[in-house]
């Protein structure tokens, strides 16, 4: 993923379209009001679990605001953030559906595999008899369509990148915390795509802003520590995973202590919300503690495995040295997430692509 954009941008680079006349001002007001309605509708779709409709509505709002104010205008921040968030959820749904479909595919035995190969050969012979010009045109069209198609995870990343840039350049607390949320979602995109190093950078940027602006008992802090713990675990950095899981527990316990004070002082029906939140937090703790145990166990297992490998390599012949070098090179390669396909400034495709509804059944 590319580096962060500069914190400030000139009016020229932002391509803003200010409203100068009273008629234009009315037009801007109409656009803003209509966009707010669309954002409200999109949020309702998310609450109801209709992610596809939410993405469609958010993209319409993004297109409307970008057309009126410019691609990276302040007015576009919320719409791009919500759209990126919804696209991330849609990508997760698609990945889940694909994973379930692959799990249901039976493995072919040798005889069936031979039959499939034969059918493919016959199909290739039939294709060879078709008109060559028609084949070339069809191939070109398919290639062009494939190049133009942008995955929802890629779209989510680009939307969130734009939102991050918009919020990051403003200095007030509310916008800085929104930038933190954009970083959080960018980190989740990184995890979903397998780019754990980038995900860790985004989560750490989020945590840095939250520590600056949030109280130590904020649940947002607990969530970010938890995401860092999970991602460090995926990256096999277990001591760091344990550290952040433990920090998440400390934040939750601090929050619970604060809630308990409110509950103790409450009378009658007062304190119902605090009691409900307390129950939620109590249910979260066992899962996080279990993840700490898993990380510690993985660390111990990894240490034993490393010692066995070390002893094996020590007794190996010198002829393996070149092979180990090649293996090291392969192991250091970052997982590909396709996030560098387009620059953040090129977002015209973001507000036009309509997502396809994922299959309900496979």
Q: Would you state the pLDDT for residue 226?
A: 97
Q: Would you state the pLDDT for residue 146?
A: 43
Residue 154: inside a domain, yes or no?
no
Residue 145 above 60 pLDDT? no
Structural domain boundaries enclosing 231: 214-315
- What the block records as the tokens of 108 is 């072919």
pLDDT in tens, 106-115: 554 444 444 4
- What is the C-alpha R_g of the chain? 26
pLDDT in tens, 201-242: 999 999 999 999 999 999 999 999 999 999 999 999 999 999
Residue 195: inside a domain, yes or no?
no
User: What is the total count of domains within the chain?
Assistant: 1
Per the model's pLDDT, the better-predicted residue between 361 and 251 turns out to be 251
Burial per residue of 9-29, b for 16 or more beta-carbon CB atoms within 10 angstroms, e otherwise: beeeebebeeeeeeeeeeebe
Residue 161 above 60 pLDDT? yes
Q: Helix, strand, coil shares of the chain as percentages rounded to 5?
A: 75, 0, 25
CA distance 233 to 192: 14
CA distance 319 to 10: 59
Residue 126 above 90 pLDDT? no
Residue 274: inside a domain, yes or no?
yes
CA distance 68 to 74: 12
Residue 65: inside a domain, yes or no?
no
pLDDT in tens, 68-92: 999 899 999 999 999 999 999 999 9
Residue 55: inside a domain, yes or no?
no
Q: If residue 200 lies in a helix (H) or strand (E), which one and from where to where?
A: helix 196-213
How much is the mean pLDDT over the chain? 75
Residue 234: inside a domain, yes or no?
yes
- Which parts of the chain are beta strand (E)? none
CA distance 184 to 199: 9
CA distance 1 to 331: 19
Residue 359: inside a domain, yes or no?
no
- Residue 299: CATH number of its domain: 1.20.58
pLDDT, average across residues 54-59? 95
Residue 281: inside a domain, yes or no?
yes
Among candidate residues 347, 306, 8, the one with its CA nearest the CA of residue 158 = 347
CA distance 342 to 197: 20
Provide the 8-state DSSP code for 360.
Answer: S
Most confident by average pLDDT, 11-15, 29-33, 292-296, 354-358: 292-296
pLDDT in tens, 113-123: 444 344 443 44
């Amino acid at each position: 993923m590319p580096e962060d954009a500069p914190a400030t941008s000139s009016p020229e680079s932002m391509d803003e379209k200010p409203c100068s006349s009273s008629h234009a001002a009315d037009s801007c007001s109409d656009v803003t009001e209509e966009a707010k309605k669309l954002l409200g509708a999109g949020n309702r779709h998310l609450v109801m679990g209709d992610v596809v409709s939410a993405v469609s509505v958010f993209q319409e709002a993004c297109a409307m605001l970008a057309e009126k104010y410019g691609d990276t205008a302040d007015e576009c921040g919320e719409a791009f953030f919500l759209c990126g968030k919804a696209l991330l959820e849609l990508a997760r749904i698609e990945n889940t559906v694909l994973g379930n479909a692959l799990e249901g595919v039976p493995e072919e035995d040798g005889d069936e595999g031979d039959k499939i190969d034969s059918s493919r050969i016959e199909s290739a012979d039939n294709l060879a008899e078709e008109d060559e010009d028609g084949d070339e045109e069809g191939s070109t069209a398919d290639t062009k369509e494939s190049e133009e198609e942008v995955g929802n995870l890629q779209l989510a990343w680009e939307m969130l990148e734009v939102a991050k840039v918009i919020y990051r350049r403003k200095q007030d607390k509310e916008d800085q915390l929104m930038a933190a949320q954009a970083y959080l979602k960018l980190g989740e995109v990184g995890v979903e795509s397998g780019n754990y190093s980038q995900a860790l950078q985004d989560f750490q940027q989020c945590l840095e802003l939250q520590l600056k602006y949030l109280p130590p008992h904020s649940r947002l802090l607990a969530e970010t520590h938890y995401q860092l713990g999970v991602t460090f675990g995926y990256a096999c950095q277990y001591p760091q995973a344990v550290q952040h899981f433990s920090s998440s527990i400390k934040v939750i316990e601090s929050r619970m202590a604060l809630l308990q004070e409110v509950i103790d002082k409450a009378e009658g029906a007062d304190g119902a919300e605090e009691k409900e939140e307390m129950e939620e937090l109590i249910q979260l703790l066992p899962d996080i503690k279990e993840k700490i145990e898993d990380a510690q166990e993985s660390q111990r297992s990894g240490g034993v495995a490393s010692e066995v490998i070390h002893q094996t390599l020590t007794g190996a012949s010198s002829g393996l040295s070149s092979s180990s070098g090649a293996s090291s090179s392969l192991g250091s390669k970052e997982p590909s997430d396709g996030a560098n396909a387009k620059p953040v400034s090129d977002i015209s495709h973001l507000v036009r692509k309509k997502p396809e509804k994922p299959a309900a059944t496979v």
